[in-house]
Amino acid sequence: MLLPRHLRKLTLICNPVNLKFYSRVLFVNVWQFAISMLYIQYNALLTAILCNDEWVRFATSRKSLRVSEPRGVQRSSYTISMPMKYSIPLLSLSTILHWTLSQSVFVTFVEGFWYDGTMNPDGRRPVVGFSVWAIITSKKDP
């Protein structure tokens, strides 16, 4: 029986091997999403701290207003959320952490063989692999 084209694509996606593959891909990438959420929260916290520090310094000593388009004695804004001396190290650390995590946990295929050395046609399956060295190097020191 020949299925319509849209059902053939759905059948291909719902194949048990493909579902196992997609579930493993989702498991591997959920950690990237968690690190991204931690980065966003840390960025928001650091931005709030730096904004508070600027207001405290403004209260103790007079400074000109910081605006996007300065006129007269006003200062131009050189940052969107935080100064470069904070944002560049934070972004670099996040990039390195994402890269080491991508090297730590990954999806790969394992092929099965019979005892006589011939390849089992049904033995190919997706598995989650991990690298101990990348996990150790991405671990945060206490």
Going from N- to C-terminal start, the domains of the chain cover: 12-138
Tell me how far apart the alpha carbons of residues 97 and 3 are, in angstroms, rounded to a whole number.
Answer: 46
Q: Is the pTM of this model over 0.75?
A: no
Computed on alpha carbons and rounded to an integer, the radius of gyration of the chain in Å comes to 26
In terms of Cα–Cα distance, which of 8, 85, 81 is closest to 46? 81
pLDDT in tens, 60-93: 888 777 777 778 777 776 666 678 888 899 999 9
- CA-closest candidate to residue 128, choices 27, 13, 15: 27
Q: In this predicted structure, what is the pLDDT of residue 38? A: 93
What's the pLDDT at 9?
52
**Above 50 in pLDDT, residue 119?**
yes
Render pLDDT for 124-137 as a digit per residue (tens, 0 to 9).
778 888 887 766 76
